Amino acid sequence: MTDSTQNGSQPVIELKDVKVHHHARGGKLFRPNIVKAVDGVDFTISRGETVGIVGESGCGKSTLASVLVGLQAPTSGDVLFHGKPAIKRNAALRKEFGRSVSVVFQDPSTALNPRMTIQDILTDPLQIHGIGTAATRAAKVGELLALVGLPQSAAEVTPSQVSGGQRQRVAIARALALDPDIIVADEPTSALDVSVRAQVLNLLSDLKTQLNLGMVFISHDIQTVRYVSDRICVMYFGRIVEQGTASQVFDTPSNDYTKKLLGAAPSLLHI
Ligand SMILES: Nc1ncnc2c1ncn2[C@@H]1O[C@H](COP(=O)(O)OP(=O)(O)OP(=O)(O)O)[C@@H](O)[C@H]1O
Ligand SMILES: [Mg+2]
């Protein structure tokens, strides 16, 4: 069985045996130190499913996320976008990829331009993609704010004038501006105060259902991943060592590392 047929839809992105190797500093000329950040990963993501990626710091989660959103070309392997090779993209495909796949980073304070108003931050992707008129773009900003549970008045202020949780809502609204198929969220709640983590998680999972998005949810906290994911991939040293539904992974972990991860630190989320 493959997950690629889930919901009867073709995966939006498919990775086949993707490797990202870095030459680390300090390596010898004839024996370079190679960091195998991602080391042979097969992965699919379709609309309507949330796939969680969990693993300890340095196991390659963010590198995998960069490949998924097109920020990092793999050293080897294939990236398919709607079934078509997407590594050597032409301008049109790059634009289509950028519209279809968006990303939410860990820290909204650095991900959002502090000098722009929230109105401008949300209008920016629409302008770059040449979507709509000034009036339709302004209406879209209003819709986006409502979608992520922010008051319309938030449009007039800058990111530093709202709370950390609200800033992450702005980042999520920006990620939704182009009506993407997939959102890749890399530790989207880790930089937030514990008290607002659950709210932001709930927002992401509500949006995923409401908009039939595909979501890749990355975290080092397996309890958080369990809470939102339909399917979980456990990463260890650049590889996916276990994959399955939340209950398969939690109730019958087959891999020793997964067992260790499950026995490790309790969730930081109080849910
Ligand atoms: N540009 C680079 N050059 C060399 N090594 C790199 C580079 N980028 C990442 N790495 C290494 O690749 C490995 C995977 O890094 P990555 O950031 O993907 O891990 P991660 O799972 O996201 O970790 P964290 O949970 O801390 O965010 C690490 O060992 C990292 O040091
Ligand atoms: Mg990371």
Domain CATH code at residue 140:
3.40.50.300
User: Is there an atom of ligand 1 within 6 Å of 268 CB?
Assistant: no
- For residue range 152-164, list pLDDT tens digits in order: 999 999 999 999 9
191-213 burial, b at 16+ Cβ within 10 Å, e below that, comes to bbeeebbbebbebbbebbeebeb
User: Is there an atom of ligand 1 within 6 Å of 66 CB?
Assistant: no
Ligand 1: nearest atom to the Cα of 38:
14
Show the domain range for 191. 13-264
Asked if residue 5 belongs to a domain, the reply is no
pLDDT at 63: 97
pLDDT at 5: 42
- For residue range 201-237, list pLDDT tens digits in order: 999 999 999 999 999 999 988 888 998 999 999 999 9
Kindly give the residue spans of alpha helices, DSSP state H, lying in the chain: 61-68, 91-100, 108-111, 118-128, 134-147, 164-176, 194-211, 222-228, 246-251, 256-263
Asked if residue 167 belongs to a domain, the reply is yes
pLDDT at 262: 80
Asked if residue 106 belongs to a domain, the reply is yes
Pairing of strands 239-245, 231-236: antiparallel
pLDDT at 77: 97
Asked if residue 22 belongs to a domain, the reply is yes
Ligand 1: nearest atom to the Cα of 238:
14
Neighbours of ion ligand 2 (CB under 5 A): 62
Asked if residue 4 belongs to a domain, the reply is no
Mean pLDDT by 10 residues, the chain (271 residues): 52 97 74 87 97 95 96 95 84 89 93 95 96 96 98 97 96 97 96 92 95 96 90 95 90 83 60 40
Asked if residue 78 belongs to a domain, the reply is yes
User: Is there an atom of ligand 1 within 6 Å of 111 CB?
Assistant: no
User: Is there an atom of ligand 1 within 6 Å of 219 CB?
Assistant: no
Number of domains in the chain: 1
pLDDT at 31: 65
Asked if residue 215 belongs to a domain, the reply is yes
Asked if residue 7 belongs to a domain, the reply is no
